[in-house]
Amino acid sequence: MPLREHLDELRKRLFRAALGVVVGAAAGWWLWPNLVLPGLEAPFDAFSEGRGGLNFAGAISPLDLQVKGALWVGLIVSSPVWIYQLWAFVTPGLTRKERAYAVGFVAVGAPLFVAGVALAYFILPTTLALIQQFTPDDAFNFVDAPSYLSFVMRLLLAFGVAFLLPVLLVALNFAGLVPGRAILKQWRIVVFLCFVFSAVFTPTPDALTMIVMACPLIVLFFLAIGVCLWNDRRRARRAGESEFANLSDDEASPL
């Protein structure tokens, strides 16, 4: 595509993804105070052991948090929509048969995104305990509700996006942009980048959270590399079956 068509395609995909998030946020407006907010407060309540709940420092903080929470829920609920839009933008030149892999991409990507969010929620109590150890013994930590919930939402989204990256790697391979063998040769760099990504995108200073994100991410990346290698062999076998498969569109065949 020319650059203008790429930009038009990007605008179209972003609009559809944003529309899905807005529709999900409409449901999130009700889900946030009735279901999601109590679930996010539960790890803090268990850790505080009755020493006090979350505090709102400003008059409009509850409303601001309601809007942010609804959008956050909408982002998770609409994950199949924007994951599909991501696939459609990365692989616009595939044939109709190859576009059928979009169903598999969404079917794998959306559960992995949710699994990353669930894993972050599972380690949240341990993360809170590690962070609170830095509070002096003669001090009391009054936790601000917007700060705490923003921290939790960033942590959960970071894990979700991290679990989605290997699926994006497979999508690039199916688009013919990234050969599996080239990725396998750089597996040391892949492992290093997994730890770098985990260190940068987890909003906590402890090493445990970084390791908990990096280890599953490394496993998922190697599974993705295996899928890429299988797809490369499938393409090579298909090309070998056709005598003229390697000819460019502008090259005349012997036929």
Nearest CA among 164, 156, 160, 174 for reference residue 108: 164
pLDDT beneath 70: ranges in the chain: 1, 47-53, 91-101, 134-135, 137, 139-141, 203-206, 239-255
**pLDDT, position 240:** 61
**In angstroms, rounded to a whole number, what is the distance separating the alpha carbons of residues 169 and 85?**
15
**In angstroms, rounded to a whole number, what is the distance separating the alpha carbons of residues 255 and 242?**
13
Q: DSSP string spanning 131-192?
A: HHTTS-TT-----BHHHHHHHHHHHHHHHHHHHHHHHHHHHHHHTTSS-HHHHHHTHHHHHH
**In angstroms, rounded to a whole number, what is the distance separating the alpha carbons of residues 206 and 177?**
36
**pLDDT, position 206:** 66
Domain residue limits, the chain: 3-137+144-241
Report phi then psi at 81, rounded to 5. Answer: -70, -55
Partners of 144 in beta bridges: 55
- The model's pTM is 0.75
**pLDDT, position 205:** 66
**pLDDT, position 50:** 52
At 116, is the secondary structure helix, strand, or coil? helix
**In angstroms, rounded to a whole number, what is the distance separating the alpha carbons of residues 251 and 18?**
42
**pLDDT, position 168:** 80
Give the pLDDT confidence of 8-41 residue by residue, as tens digits. 888 888 999 999 999 999 988 998 888 888 888 8
**pLDDT, position 239:** 66
At 6, is the secondary structure helix, strand, or coil? helix
